[in-house]
Structure 1
Amino acid sequence: MLSGKPVYNRLHLQQFRTSTNMEAVTDKGIILMNLGSPESTEVPDVKRYLMEFLMDKKVIDYPYLLRLLLVGGIIVPRRSPQSAEAYKRIWWPEGSPLVVLTKQLQAAVQDELQDIPVTIAMRYGNPSPQAAYDELLAKNPRLKEVILLPLYPHYAMSSYETAVDYAKAIHKRKKYKFKLTTIPPYYGNEDYIQAQAACMQPYLEQDYDHVLFSYHGVPERHIRKGDITKTHCLKVDDCCHVASPAHEFCYRHQVFHTSERVAAALNLPKEKWGISFQSRLGKEQWLLPYTASRLTELPAEGKKKLLVVCPAFVSDCLETLEEIGMEGKHSFLESGGESFTMIPCMNLHPMWVQAIGKWCRQLIQP
């Protein structure tokens, strides 16, 4: 993982003090870091993006030559035209929804923080962390500290970890003099939980049978690989609910924790919600149950009015708008479902913007 051992307390954010009247600290800057997107829906741009994404050794963690053969020779040539069509279905006039929403979030957080400069970076594609660092330096050559907020609530080697490692590597390689401080995963932070719950609340006013929390999947092998104890994850019965240092870096535990906290905040009965995992790639075993399977099974279980939420994503993107909102809806209705509602990501929800502002203010206090 980042250092082979915990480098932060995952409850740090819950211990922050609120400050709303602080004066501007102009030697600090904020970067909101998201996944990224192709530059356009054209196949060459999608191919370029997929190559960068899938060649990341933390996404597909095979030896380089095998990864190159698999990604460059099989996956990307096959998926690029299909992905380009999928992107066309959800592309906005302003561009990629994920990029547009991240820019809008940046503007909203900038309003919240006023004189503290806020910019964005992407793990894949543009703008890069270097571009973000340079932008902040251009605004203030005396920059002393940059606070990096990865827009991933949960820790996974293929999301949070690779984003942080990438930002740190560029910071080190370019020999920037300012300090880089990273906000840890906030999957259990009360501000995040309440913002996610508030985003969902209006949709619970309609008639529904079931709420499905659909998270981006990862291979089970990644969960075992990330287990710092090497004896707990997917080895101990009900491992995600048995206390262990492994939970610090366990994506599966963290998404269970988020779902349970949000369900409790919304007073959801246990029989009216469940968890699944989407976006499987390849044939190896990924976290179960698969969202695609649950969407076809739920109607037969009498759960025909469905709400789906994707808390692993804070900004709507291909995986929410197309995979769930279009393909998932089609599968559910074709299998006998009566109504399907995809609850949007937090995007620009005021409580989410306020939470980010609060966390950043608490870190930039003198």
Structure 2
Amino acid sequence: MNYQGKKGVLLVQLGTPDAPTTPEVRKYLTEFLMDGRVMDIPVLGRNLLVKGIIVPKRAAQSAETYKTIWHGEHGSPLMHYSQLQKELLQQALGEEYHVELAMRYQNPSIASALKKLEGMLLESLTVIPLFPQYASATSGSVIEKVMEIVRSWQYIPKISFVSSFCEDDLMIEAYAENGMKHDVNSFDHILFSYHGLPVRQLGKVDPSGSLKCPDFGCTGCKKERNPYCYLSQCYATSRAIAKRIGITEERYTVCFQSRLGKTPWIQPYTSDTLHELANKGVKRLLVFSPAFVSDCIETLDEIQVEYANEFKELGGEEVVMVESLNDNPKWIQSLKRLVLSN
């Protein structure tokens, strides 16, 4: 087959273990946490912390959790939906394009996906890290890895990176559409729960060189002030979805989950927010998780099980999780437009 003249597209997700077993989870966690953009501390300390403490302590427990979300022939939900997105985007773009999927950690690796694309003598390559909000630990890590590999190619095509799409209107419509499957007005409060980051990582992309909002007062921050600030992008996404589903600012809270270790992470923490809302008598919560475009362990377990149980223990009655974008047709159209516009 003659590939010359084709335009390449590389979709990159975070990653997933190859199987819900302790050895495979250990491999995944080690690769993930040893990334200097994820755990941005000196490599010696990172080695001691990751390989000596975190992974031995968490691998078996995480494997048990992965078993609860693994689905028969589909296996990992993240892999299943990512493959669907790749296939549907390929159909939407047509034969002029060739779409590949990679995981930043584990399989299919970025190196293996780029190996397939290298010999095609592509006209262009568009790389889309599947994270709506830019963070050095996610999109930044993907972009760095792609550049590290491609620099050795003999023929390098025009390459475009989509580093952020936090307010893409078709993506926002897709999130809103999924939310409106529920009776939004029947809930006492709505949460927009994002993956957390250490506060120090925000400071590293502050043009002034130091974090200027230690109180996390970004509710009104416009991302134009600092286009690479993960926090302001999270608020931008939340405002856009809230506007689309017709809820006012007092009806929702932006919060952050999945913190690790004792260092300060972005606040308010989702767990603390659950406590505050329960103390105010809130009984029913609707939760969006717009940092994720595919359902995964963070949405299917951390929110739907762990936080839901915690909220009920505090006196709440129900936590309803809005499904991720998965194979929503508007999301596929959003991806198509991101490719065409880049």
Q: Same fold (TM over 0.5)?
A: yes
* Distance change >3 Å, CA 322–CA 175, structure 1 → 2: farther
1:19-62 per-position Cα deviation (integer Å, ceiling 9, x unaligned): xxxxx995201111100111111111100110000000111111
Residue equivalent to 2:115: 134
Residue equivalent to 1:119: 100
Q: Distance in 2 between matches of 1:296 and 1:132?
A: 44
Shift of 1:174: 4.3
Q: Distance in 2 between matches of 1:171 and 1:25?
A: 18
Residue equivalent to 2:252: 273
Picking from 334, 339, 351, the partner of 2:313 is 334
Shift of 1:240: 6.2
Q: Does 1:104 align with 2:84?
A: yes
Q: Distance in 1 between matches of 2:267 and 2:214?
A: 15
* Distance change >3 Å, CA 349–CA 245, structure 1 → 2: closer
Q: Distance in 2 between matches of 1:168 and 1:174?
A: 10
* Distance change >3 Å, CA 241–CA 232, structure 1 → 2: farther
Shift of 1:231: 4.8
Which deviates the most, 207-216 or 197-206? 197-206
Contact 1:37/1:98, CA 8 A, preserved across alignment: yes
Percent identity between the two aligned chains: 38
Shift of 1:189: 2.2
Paired residue secondary structure (1:299): helix
Contact 1:224/1:234, CA 8 A, preserved across alignment: no
Contact 1:40/1:46, CA 8 A, preserved across alignment: yes
Q: CA RMSD in A?
A: 2.0
Residue equivalent to 2:293: 314
* Distance change >3 Å, CA 301–CA 235, structure 1 → 2: closer
Shift of 1:197: 1.5
Q: Distance in 1 between matches of 2:321 and 2:223?
A: 34
TM-score by length of 1: 0.87
1:303-351 per-position Cα deviation (integer Å, ceiling 9, x unaligned): 1111111000001111111111111111111111112211111111111
Contact 1:121/1:132, CA 8 A, preserved across alignment: yes
Structure 2's unaligned 5+ residue stretches are none
Structure 1's unaligned 5+ residue stretches are 1-23
1:1-366 superposed matches below 5 A: 26-93=5-72, 94-115=74-95, 116-137=97-118, 141-205=120-184, 207-231=186-210, 233-234=212-213, 238=217, 241=220, 247-363=226-342
Contact 2:16/2:106, CA 8 A, preserved across alignment: yes
TM-score by length of 2: 0.93
* Distance change >3 Å, CA 220–CA 144, structure 1 → 2: same
Contact 1:201/1:266, CA 8 A, preserved across alignment: yes
Shift of 1:297: 3.0
